[in-house]
Amino acid sequence: MQNQDPELFDKIRQQYDSAPYPRIPLEQSPKNNYELLFIHNLVTSYYLKYQKVINTQGKVILDAGCGTGYKSLVLAEANPGAKIVGIDISEQSVELARQRLKFHGFDNAEFYVLPIEDLPQLGYEFDYINNDEVLYLLPDITMGLKGMKSVLKPEGIIRSNLHSAFQRVNYFRAQSLFKMMGLMDDNPTDLETGLTGEIMEALKDQVLLKSQVYKPQTSTEKEWVLVNYLLQGDKGYTIPELFAALKTSDLELISMVNWRNWEVIDLFKDAENLPAFLGMSLPELSIEDRLHFYELLHPIHRLLDFWCGHPIANESIVPVSNWTDTDWQTTQVHLHPQLKTTKAKEDLIECVKTQKSFEISQYVKLPTIVPITLESRRAACLLPLWETEQPMISLVERWQQIQPVDPVTLEPITPQIAFEQVKELLISLDAFLYVLLQRSGSN
Is a pLDDT exceeding 50 seen at residue 9? yes
pLDDT tier for residue 2 given thresholds of 50, 70 and 90: very low
191-221 pLDDT, tens digit per residue, is: 999 999 999 999 999 999 999 999 888 877 8
Pick from 202-216, 217-231, 416-430: least confident:
217-231
Cα separation, 168 vs 183, in Å, equals: 20
The pLDDT assigned to 225 comes to 94
pLDDT tier for residue 125 given thresholds of 50, 70 and 90: very high
The pLDDT assigned to 76 comes to 98
Cα separation, 99 vs 86, in Å, equals: 12
Is a pLDDT exceeding 70 seen at residue 257? yes
The pLDDT assigned to 315 comes to 62
pLDDT tier for residue 8 given thresholds of 50, 70 and 90: confident
Residue 361: helix, strand or coil by DSSP? Answer: helix
Contact between 317 and 423 (Cβ < 8 Å): no
Is a pLDDT exceeding 80 seen at residue 439? yes
Is a pLDDT exceeding 70 seen at residue 442? no
Cα separation, 108 vs 101, in Å, equals: 9
Domain ranges of the chain: 6-165+236-258+301-309, 168-227, 320-439
Q: How many helices (H) and strands (E) does the chain have?
A: 18, 12
Is a pLDDT exceeding 70 seen at residue 268? yes
What's the whole-model pTM score?
0.94
The pLDDT assigned to 354 comes to 97
pLDDT tier for residue 118 given thresholds of 50, 70 and 90: very high
Comparing 15 with 5, the larger pLDDT belongs to 15
The CATH number of the structural domain formed by 6-165+236-258+301-309 is 3.40.50.150
Q: Which of 353, 352, 358 is nearest to 339 (CA)?
A: 358
44-58 pLDDT, tens digit per residue, is: 999 999 999 999 999
The pLDDT assigned to 4 comes to 57
Is a pLDDT exceeding 60 seen at residue 434? yes
